[in-house]
Chains A and B, each alone.
Chain A
Amino acid sequence: MSALRLIGRKNNFRELRSLGVSPFTIELRVRMEEESYGSSERSSTSSEESAPYSTDNSSHATNPMNSEEEEEEEESSSSDDYPSKRRKHGPIVEEEDRISTLPDSILLTILSSLCTKDAVRTGVLSKRWAYLWTFVPSLRFTDYYLRHAADYASFVDNVLLLHRASKLTNFSVEVEYNPELKPRVDLWVRFATTAKVDQLSLLLSSCFYKLPQHLYANEFVSELDFRACEIKPNGLVRWSSLKRLCLWNVALPKDVLNQVLLGSPRLEFLELRSCDKFNRLDIVSESLKKLVMDSYCEDGLELEIVAPKIESLEIIGEFYGMKKCQIKNASALVEVRLDFEITMEYEEEEQEEDHYKNCENVVRELFESLHQVKKLIVGRWCLKVLSIMSVKHLSCPVLNCKCLTMKTSMEKWNLPGIASLLQSSPYVETLVIDIIFSNHDSEFLDRIYDEVNHWKSKEVYFKSLLQCLKTVKIFGFGERFHTKDVFILVVEFLLKNAKVLEKMVITEPWVMQNGIHNMQLKFLQVSQKLLSFPRSSPHAVVMFPF
């Protein structure tokens, strides 16, 4: 680590000190790592260094630091390869032009972050800006101000006519679609693919758009987002550079997804959101690293995932009547989020019983195939099923996870599930409890179980547990005050039994920030109580960071 003195011009010591930076020794850790920054960048910076320094000579004279700087200068000059860069020479006046000194490439970076409508408007700013926007490599037609589909489509057509960049990095359209627009949308897609676009997003609504056939053979695109589109390739799919695919509300009849996966050998991320038309989904991919499965509204889904390289899995949303969810060969799986719910309509009690039996089977099989996962997030509904299983004396499969997150509303029917989950995770080192709001009914559970003592009776089995638990983080306590009894019970239990606990952090007490006085008082009382509980770990620290 070497100490550097970085001397900027117009040294203003007062300013620097107010920022807490000592003007004399600014230490930087300079990492001597090799990074590939092209030679063009190098020439641009050294050309800046060698630019004649005619401005601000007056301030140099008064400043001792700057005179040293002039002695030390030993820049090597090289040719200025930045043809469009302009430097203003002459005294810098207050309040004036701040932007014209920036090179075109930076202005284009700024314009790329704007949606296209705003970018087009900058054409009126000045001569330099008049057609700068036509070179922006990113086209985003995603704002809601243009209401009528007809106007919107003309707007897009107009922009595409004037656009001059030869390569597009991003082309996004969000529009309310109707079948009359098909020929125009086809042309937009053709425009984007001709410009070798990297990321293509077609987020449509109200009607389905059939993707043009030429799109299925594309070697440049690396990210595709489709909503309300129809995928129906006539031949093979060839998306050889595709890395990310997000399908939202897309019909995937039998085998279409297989064709897509076969034709995308580099696919790493797949998201299926509210897609339908398949009863059984086999996701088979050698390259897939992350899968997000969000909701399915048709009845009786059977989901099987065969992805040997998959590292992260999320199953979220609502699945109506899901029958099976299995992951084969999940040896690379590191992170799993199970924040889903299996819904069902039933009228009689018997049907309800059957439904829950089915849920128990799904959850148990799922946990069995995830036993080696290191980081697990268990959502509210899964916890509820675990509670039901626990009350029926069905155990949860053992898990090897090291970092466990539970989403719970801290109501008393959560307790058996929490207990069961802790019991099955003997190696957990970090526990995160996310307290959430839930108005979910617990009638079924109330009927078969209503004793908090159930928790206490299980304590005898907990003797050998929580051996590895080092850190506990609890979020969202302040808002749910009526659940504090259960919360206190859980915290007491953790403090009593976690023998190597180092740190318990209870954060985000909304009540403290919003200053409702008697609530604050109650919260303080609870905090006092928590701090007074006996701890089996001599080093444990309980923190309330606020």
Chain B
Amino acid sequence: MKFCAVKQYFDDENNNNITSGASTTMIPLPNVESHPLAILITYCKKHLKIKANNADNKKETEKEMEQYEQELLKKVMPQELTELILAANYLNFKEALDFFCRAVASAIQNKSIEFVRKFFGLESDFELGEEEKLREEFAWSFEGVDED
């Protein structure tokens, strides 16, 4: 079940006996931006389509899904990944959430701290000397890192 938040909305509606004479139902999602939402919808549709095509062959499904995911990653800016994660989390879309988290992880794998800071737009809020102390404490994890 994808988009569990939306499903929840439906269940609530049914419980309140709201009969919709109109053929469209509007579900406001104030915490999701349009751009990531559209990407998530495409992802979901593709996922369902691939699953239907390869009904009995789980390996084929995984392979095709991986290929699609690789292509998708090329089109998405790394900075957008965090928005996508937020959207997927809000919509309770587990598969997309896992996928985008993995994508972020592989983007920052073995990169220097400066790179990761830039990637996330984070600023250090350490006081003077605190960061130095931490770096010293964990000096053993800083060896062999990629330069930017």
Interface of A toward B, CB cutoff 8 Å:
2-12, 15-16, 19-21, 23, 25-26, 28-33, 35, 37, 41-42, 45-46, 48-49, 51, 53, 68-69, 72-73, 76, 95-103, 106, 109-115, 117-118, 120-127, 130, 143, 145-146, 151, 154-155, 158
Complex interface: chain B residues within 8 A of A110 (CB)? 101, 104-105
Which residue of A2, A7, A8, A11 has the most chain B CB atoms within 10 A of its CB atom? A8
Instruction: Check if B42 is an interface residue, CB within 8 A of chain A.
Output: yes
Q: Once the chains are docked, how many angstroms separate the CA of A95 from the CA of B121?
A: 7
Q: Are A126 and B122 in contact (CB under 8 A)?
A: yes
Q: Is the CB of A26 within 8 A of B41?
A: yes
Q: Which residues of B contact A15 (CB under 8 A)?
A: 34-35, 38
Instruction: Kindly identify which residue among A26, A49, A121 contacts B30, using a CB–CB cutoff of 8 Å.
Output: A49
Write the chain B residue with the least CB distance to A99: B120
From B6, B79, B105, B106, A98 is in contact (CB under 8 Å) with B79
Pair A42/B33 contact, Cβ less than 8 Å: no
In angstroms, how far is the closest chain B Cβ from the Cβ of A368? Answer: 26
Q: How far is the CB of A8 from chain B (nearest CB, A)?
A: 4
Docked-complex contact A35 and B4, CB < 8 angstroms:
yes
CB nearest neighbor in B for A20: B42
Query: In the complex, how many angstroms separate the beta carbon of A244 from the nearest chain B beta carbon?
Result: 16
Q: What 0/1 pattern do residues 25 to 41 of B give for CB contact below 8 A with A?
A: 11111111111111101
Q: Which residue of A lies closest to B106 (CB)?
A: A113
Count of chain B residues near A, Cβ 8 A: 69
Query: Chain B nearest CB: distance from A396 CB in Å?
Result: 26
CB pair B10–A30 under 8 Å, yes or no, is: yes
Q: Which of B44, B90, B131, B141 contacts A155 (CB 8 A)?
A: B141
Q: Told that A9-B34, A113-B101 touch, could you supply 17 new A-B pairs with CB distance under 8 A?
A: A4-B25, A5-B24, A5-B26, A6-B6, A32-B7, A42-B8, A46-B8, A53-B30, A69-B26, A69-B28, A98-B120, A102-B85, A102-B86, A109-B101, A130-B134, A145-B143, A158-B140
User: When the two chains form their complex, are residues B31 and A12 in contact, meaning their CB atoms are under 8 A apart?
Assistant: no
B27 near A4 (CB under 8 angstroms)? yes
Q: How far is the CB of B47 from chain A (nearest CB, A)?
A: 12
Known: A12-B35, A16-B38. A5 touches B25 (CB 8 A): yes
Q: Are B26's CB and A125's CB within 8 A?
A: no
Given the complex, which residues of B lie within 8 Å of A121, measured CB to CB? 113, 138, 141-142, 145
Interface string of B124-148 (1 = CB under 8 A from A): 1110000100110010111111000
What's the minimum C-beta distance from A83 to chain B, rounded to whole angstroms?
16
Residues of A within 8 A of B24 (CB): 2-5, 25
Give the CA-CA distance A23 to B41 in the complex, in Å: 12
A11 and B79 CA atoms in complex are apart in Å by: 19
B137, chain A: closest CB distance, angstroms? 8
Contact A120 B122 (CB under 8 A): no
CB neighbours of A35 from chain B (8 A): 1, 4
Q: List 6 A-B contacts (CB under 8 A).
A: A4-B24, A7-B29, A51-B31, A103-B89, A106-B97, A124-B113
Number of A-B contacts (CB under 8 A): 190
Give the residues in chain A near B126, CB-CB below 8 Å. Answer: 126-127
Task: Let me know if B61 is at the binding interface, CB within 8 A.
Answer: no
Q: Are B41 and A109 in contact (CB under 8 A)?
A: no
A7-B26, A118-B110 known; A145-B144 Cβ under 8 A: yes
Q: Is there an interface contact between B108 and A118, defined as CB atoms closer than 8 Å?
A: yes
Given contacts A9-B34, A151-B140, contact A125 B89 (CB under 8 A): no
Which residues of A sit under 8 angstroms from B25, Cβ to Cβ? 2-5
B1-A123 in contact (CB<8A): no
| Chain B residue contacts of A2, Cβ below 8 A | 23-25
Say if the beta carbon of B102 comes within 8 Å of chain A: yes
Q: In the complex, what residues of A have CB within 8 A of residue B97's CB?
A: 106, 109
A327 to B3 Cα, complex, angstroms: 45
Whether, in the assembled complex, B65 has its beta carbon less than 8 Å from a beta carbon of chain A, the answer is: no
Q: How far is B92's CA from A424's CA once the two chains are assembled, in angstroms?
A: 51
A20 to B46: give the CA distance in the assembly, Å: 13
Q: Please tell me if the beta carbons of B92 and A41 are within 8 angstroms of each other in the complex.
A: yes
> What distance in Å separates the Cβ of A469 from its nearest Cβ neighbour in chain B?
19
Which residues in A have their C-beta under 8 angstroms from that of B36? Answer: 8
Who on chain A is nearest to B14 by CB? A32
A154-B26 contact given A10-B34, A35-B4, CB 8 Å threshold: no
Q: Does B62 contact A (CB under 8 A)?
A: no
Give Cα distance in the complex from A21 to B44, angstroms: 13
A130 neighbours in B (Cβ, 8 Å):
134
The answer to whether the Cβ of B48 comes within 8 Å of any Cβ in the partner chain is: yes
In the bound complex, what is the Cα–Cα distance between A318 and B32 (angstroms)? 54
Q: Are A8 and B34 in contact, with the CB atoms below 8 A? A: yes
Given the known interface contacts A32-B7, A124-B135, A126-B123, the answer about A7 and B41 at a Cβ–Cβ threshold of 8 Å is no
In the complex, chain B residues whose CB is within 8 Å of the CB of A12: 34-35
Contact of B141 among A31, A111, A120 (CB under 8 A): A120
List residues of B (87-115) whose CB comes within 8 Å of A's CBs. 89-92, 97-98, 101-102, 104-106, 108-110, 113
